[in-house]
Amino acid sequence: MKTVLTQSKRIVVKVGSSLVTNSGEGLDTRAIGNWAQQISTLRAQGCEVVLVSSGAIAEGMQRLGWKTRPSAVHELQAAAAVGQMGLVQVYESCFSQHGLRAAQVLLTHADLADRERYLNARSTLRTLLTLGVIPIINENDTVVTDEIKFGDNDTLGALVANLIEADALVILTDQIGLFTADPRKDAGASLISEAQAGDAKLELMAGGAGSSIGRGGMITKVLAAKRAARSGAHTVIASGHERDVLPRLLQGESIGTLLVAPALSLDARKQWIADHLQVSGKVTLDAGAVRVLKHDGKSLLPIGVTQVSGEFQRGAVVAVLDTEGRDIARGLINYSAAEARRIAGKASGEIESILGYVDESELIHRDNLVLL
């Protein structure tokens, strides 16, 4: 655990409903203040932190006087709307005590499935991190339907880890980690201190949902670790009640369960781009651009493009062709087909004058490009 987490510079921390609301009794201001203090310590050490927090529905239930989680979607949406107000107020207050600014970001799984919205969300989160702001992310439960019934913020935490290419995902829960069996039912169950994310045996060991307040359980955490590992993020499942759990983890202390990603972040991401996304169009390069991509590991700039084929939107996967029409790379493109045609062969400094705006100076960033 020491080698893996001490090198983490960007982490996603997910805290569950039972921790945030003290098992449904209302927002636990003291606990939230404690995490704010720990995150401020990590920020002082140069670590970027994104917080994924459950608790809006649970807080709304408490404010509305509901003892059990309703099944009607409109009631869940109403509870989320009521609870989100209190949740954000407490986080803002606690972080401000440490001189930190916070930002609310509400997402749905659909936002991260759509490539254009995915890129927009990524750009926003990266900008917030650059500004030193702590993004606090929750699922937009006021508008989603199936996600409320079957979703969980463990999965959302993994999706965010993929989104920002985090080094680690820390899932804080009311359990001390993953056991070989449910310790509430099996006295012989033992804590798993380290394993490989994606190991099928872990899913067999994980139990069902842990409480009536949240929707997750160990199985959602194991599956979240498996998802996060696809982009190279390691996952830790640990108790949110553990003293100074976040600084201690990043100092290399063994706490909870570490699920190690089997590949480095960049390799995993490029494999995902190359093997699991459908090509929507093609861009053909001149000889100079081909040389730069193959030998220098640079991003693809508009000036090196001679032709754009197909119709696609920003964020689509396109094939990159050499002068002979050979497929030499795949990548996520930063502009639509119509925009790419207008800026093809032009210098990056001309993008704004041609399109009226500039989002990225690269047509395809090198982090989103894989050579074949």
Whole-number CA gyration radius for the chain = 22
Collapsing DSSP to helix, strand or coil, 173 comes out as: strand
Query: Which tokens belong to 372?
Result: 């074949």
Q: What is the pLDDT of residue 114?
A: 65
| CATH number where 297 lies | 2.30.130.10
Residue 225 contacts by C-beta under 8 Å, 6 or more apart in sequence?
Answer: 158, 169, 171, 197, 198, 202, 235, 237, 259
358 and 257, same structural domain?
no
pLDDT in tens, 87-115: 999 999 999 999 999 999 988 766 766 66
Per DSSP bridges, beta strands 10-15 and 48-53 are parallel
Do both 92 and 206 map to the same domain? yes
Q: Mark whether 311 and 196 lie in a shared domain.
A: no
Which of 268, 301, 336 terminates a domain? The answer is: 268
Position 372 scores a pLDDT of 79
Report which of 206, 64, 61, 39 is spatially closest to residue 134, judged by C-alpha positions: 39
* More confidently predicted of 270 and 280: 280
Of 45, 307, 51, give the one whose Cα is nearest residue 169: 51
Tell me what pLDDT residue 209 has.
42
pLDDT of the residue at 214: 41
Same domain membership, residue 196 and residue 309: no
Residue after which a domain boundary falls, among 225, 250, 268: 268
Give yes or no for a contact between 133 and 102, defined as CB atoms under 8 angstroms apart.
Answer: yes
- Tell whether 101 and 198 lie within a shared domain: yes
pLDDT band at 236 (very low <50, low <70, confident <90, very high): very high
Q: How far apart (Å, rounded) are the C-alpha atoms in residues 164 and 128?
A: 11
Same domain, 219 and 332: no
Please indicate, yes or no, whether residues 156 and 213 belong to a single structural domain of this protein. Answer: yes
Our count of domains for the chain comes to 2
Please say whether the beta carbons of 54 and 173 come within 8 A: no
Task: Please tell me the least confidently modeled range out of 48-62, 133-147, 155-169, 291-305.
Answer: 133-147
Of 138 and 145, the one with more pLDDT: 138
Position 268 pLDDT exceeds 60: no
In this prediction, residue 337 carries a pLDDT of: 96
Confidence check: pLDDT of 321 > 80:
yes
Those residues with Cβ within 8 angstroms of residue 293's Cβ, 6 or more apart along the chain or in another chain = 285, 300, 320, 328, 329, 369, 371
Same domain, 252 and 346: no
Q: Which of 369, 283, 293, 292 is nearest to 332 (CA)?
A: 369
Of 218, 244, 268, the one marking the end of a domain is 268
pLDDT at 193 over 80: yes
- Are 188 and 56 found together in one domain? yes
pLDDT of residue 150: 36
Q: Is residue 210's pLDDT more than 50?
A: no
Distance CA 172, CA 19 (A): 8
For the segment 213-218, the average pLDDT, to the nearest whole number, is 55
Taking 80 as the threshold, does the pLDDT of residue 261 lie above it? yes
pLDDT at position 265 is 55
Do the Cβ atoms of 2 and 252 come closer than 8 Å?
Answer: yes
Q: What is the distance, to the nearest Å, from the Cα of residue 161 to the centroid of all Cα atoms in its chain?
A: 3
d(CA 128, CA 166): 14
Residue 64 has pLDDT above 70, yes or no: yes
User: 146 pLDDT exceeds 60?
Assistant: no
Instruction: State yes or no: pLDDT of 190 exceeds 60.
Output: yes
What six digits make up the tokens of 24? 């449904």
Query: Do both 210 and 282 map to the same domain?
Result: no
Query: Residue 216, by phi and psi: left (phi above 0), alpha (psi -120 to 50) or beta?
Result: beta
CATH number, domain of 138, equals 3.40.1160.10
User: Percentage of the chain surpassing pLDDT 70?
Assistant: 88
> 279-285 and 305-309 as β-strands: parallel, antiparallel, unpaired?
antiparallel
Q: Are residues 317 and 259 in the same domain?
A: no
Interval 6-48: pLDDT, tens: 888 999 999 988 888 877 677 889 999 999 999 999 999 999 9
What is the CB neighbour count within 10 angstroms for residue 147? 19
**Residues 287, 228 share a domain:** no
Q: How far apart are CA 235 and CA 229, in angstroms?
A: 8
> When comparing pLDDT for 329 and 211, which is higher?
329
For the residues 120-145, what does the mean pLDDT come to?
87
Composition of the chain by helix, strand, coil, percent to 5 = 45, 20, 35
**Cα separation of 244 and 27, whole Å?**
20
Q: What values do phi and psi take at 198, rounded to 5?
A: 95, -5
Looking at the predicted structure, is the pLDDT value of residue 2 above 60? no
Q: How far, in Å, CA of 23 to CA of 315, rounded?
A: 40
CB 90 within 8 A of CB 250: no
Its domain, for residue 192, covers 2-268
Q: What stretches of the chain show up as alpha helix (H) in DSSP?
A: 2-6, 17-20, 29-44, 56-64, 73-96, 109-113, 115-130, 146-150, 153-164, 200-205, 218-229, 245-250, 265-276, 287-291, 337-343, 351-355
